[in-house]
Structure 1
Amino acid sequence: MQAKPQTLLDPARADGQAGPQVIAVHCRSDDFRATPLHSHARGQLIAATGGLLSIDTGDERLVVPPSHAVWIPGHQPHSLRSHGPFDGWSVYVAPAACAGLPRQALVLQVSGLLRAAVLRAASWSDALMPDAMQARVLAVILDEIASLPRARLALPLPAERRLKKIAQALADNPADQRSLQQWAEWAAIAPRTLSRRFAAETGMPFSEWRQRARLMRALELLMAGQPVTGIALDLGYDSLSAFIAMFRRSLGVSPSKYLSAKNSVA
């Protein structure tokens, strides 16, 4: 199965001010989507109506279940991958309309109002300027982006070379059980320096960062249809109950209830 590398909106339009200040698109594909690193002048809000998206900005990795969306400010480099066939929507906001919107990439919890407004706007022809009714719907989209709750589904990456090497290795294989001491030896950095600088650069202790990396991989595997027991073992947990306890502490529900809720949203 081949990934679809195309962006959701023509790059010339994503980089321009021409046309409506807000352009919404909806795309469905039998293939998974993998868009290489790129950027554009318009800010972008992207979400899946089913399945899971992961987005890398170079500074962090963001995971997006169907109940959430990622806001990417203009000129922010990013790449995207869907886990399974792609069915999603996106909103592109002209620079002039981004003044009141977040200036950093983040995950937002999607409201029913936002989803309905985006899908309504995606059904219009965006070749013409919006009429008064359409302009009000587009204004609702902007208001929702500015006010929706932020979600803790981001994995910030440290900037220091040795720390980033450790973080990328753990992000690629969250089941790696090496201790902080062993990681420090592997990267040729003092354990105390690793602990102190990792927390300073990512905003969380090393152990908490590792747990979040495991949580985000668990979401990917869960949405891909893997059984919970298998996910727990793949992520290095000694028991299913320990994995479920971590998941519930992080997201407030068990993996099975979380999956049921996401499927109902989709």
Structure 2
Amino acid sequence: MDANQASSIDLDIPHAEDGPLLYAVADLRGVAVQSGQHQHARGQLFGSNTGLLSLVSETANFVVPPDYAIWIPPGLPHGARSHGPFAGWSIYIAPSACAGLPDTVLVGALSPFLKQAVRKAANWPDKRELGPPQINLARVILDEIAALTPMPLSLPLPRDPRARRIARAIADDPAAKTDLAGWGRWAGIAPRTLTRRFIDETGMSFSAWRQRACLIRALELIAAGNPITHVALDVGYDSLSAFIAMFRRELGVTPARYFAAGRPS
């Protein structure tokens, strides 16, 4: 991304408990957005209206397509960038209100109600002094966040340094043809140990993890405007039909329909 074309998504938000229960900002937009590694004292729910956002934490990589949102617990270091033009919104929640919310990062599909509630909160005339009606809506938004259903849009990273080195290399180039034994030789880890590390530390088999890496990279490339045929080759598929079949298995629709309609209902 050209740094001259990117705009930061860091905002002047209330610090921790020094401010309202919930603070919302809508209609974030730009040619592209990016933010280096940082953290917030407040919990954050970041949503996409158009465009796709990638987020990197110490434990996993994530993508946030249109009509999805990502929940980030308080104090968790992360960095983000968009792939092409992006428009979205963000809400920041006081730490004391995060006790009943997920304690890990997750990407979930948005309900129409949550989208409208966030937009209404972003348009409160005084967002730093909430009255009873605003507090009631804020608590409903918290219930909606707690009910988010995780989607297969995250790529957990193993803790073992050798396995993590392999994971980073595959995430950078999912089209690499190296097999399990070849990756093991490259990183100095026995294939059987590598298989166990992925299952124990990511909850996924090595092959399933590799397929998820292909899916996430494909979403980024398509969102950036690359033709689907080229994307299939770039993530290691020899045929377009095999790539489309994988995409449909994971997300329920073809790539073209997915990006045309936002996401399946």
Where on the TM-score scale, by shorter chain, does this alignment land: which range? over 0.9
Q: Which residue of 2 aligns with 1:25?
A: 25
Q: Which residue of 1 aligns with 2:75?
A: 75
C-alpha displacement of 1:180: 0.5
Contact 1:19 1:127 in 2 (8 A): no
Q: Distance in 1 between matches of 2:32 and 2:99?
A: 33
User: 2:75 is matched by which residue type in structure 1?
Assistant: H
The unaligned stretches of length 5 or more in structure 2 are: none
The unaligned stretches of length 5 or more in structure 1 are: none
Q: Which residue of 2 aligns with 1:5?
A: 8
Q: Which residue of 1 aligns with 2:245?
A: 245
Contact 1:55 1:79 in 2 (8 A): yes
Q: Deviations over 1:168-211 (max 9, x none)?
A: 01111111111011111111111111111121111111110000
Q: Distance in 1 between matches of 2:37 and 2:161?
A: 20
* CA distance 1:174–1:255, shift in 2 (3 Å): same
C-alpha displacement of 1:62: 0.8
C-alpha displacement of 1:8: 2.7
Q: Distance in 2 between matches of 1:56 and 1:158?
A: 14
Q: Which residue of 1 aligns with 2:179?
A: 179
| TM norm structure 1 | 0.93
Q: Which residue of 2 aligns with 1:203?
A: 203
Contact 1:23 1:126 in 2 (8 A): no
Stretch moving more, 219-228 or 35-44: 219-228
Q: Distance in 2 between matches of 1:128 and 1:22?
A: 8
- 1:117 is paired with a residue whose SS is helix
Q: Deviations over 1:104-160 (max 9, x none)?
A: 111111110000010111112445421222222212211100112221211000111
Contact 1:8 1:90 in 2 (8 A): no
Contact 2:7 2:30 in 1 (8 A): no
- Superposed CA RMSD in Å reads 1.7
- 2:32 is paired with a residue whose SS is coil
- 1:174 is paired with a residue whose SS is coil
User: 2:120 is matched by which residue type in structure 1?
Assistant: R
C-alpha displacement of 1:85: 2.4
User: 2:187 is matched by which residue type in structure 1?
Assistant: A
C-alpha displacement of 1:6: 4.9
Q: Distance in 2 between matches of 1:156 and 1:61?
A: 6
Q: Which residue of 1 aligns with 2:39?
A: 39
Structure number with higher strand proportion: 2
C-alpha displacement of 1:20: 1.2
* CA distance 1:201–1:37, shift in 2 (3 Å): same
| TM norm structure 2 | 0.94
Runs of 4 or more, structure 1, over 3 Å off, are: 125-128
- 2:40 is paired with a residue whose SS is coil
Alignment of 1:49-198 (within 5 A): 49-198=49-198
Q: Distance in 2 between matches of 1:6 and 1:126?
A: 22
Identity %: 51
* CA distance 1:143–1:67, shift in 2 (3 Å): same
* CA distance 1:194–1:264, shift in 2 (3 Å): closer
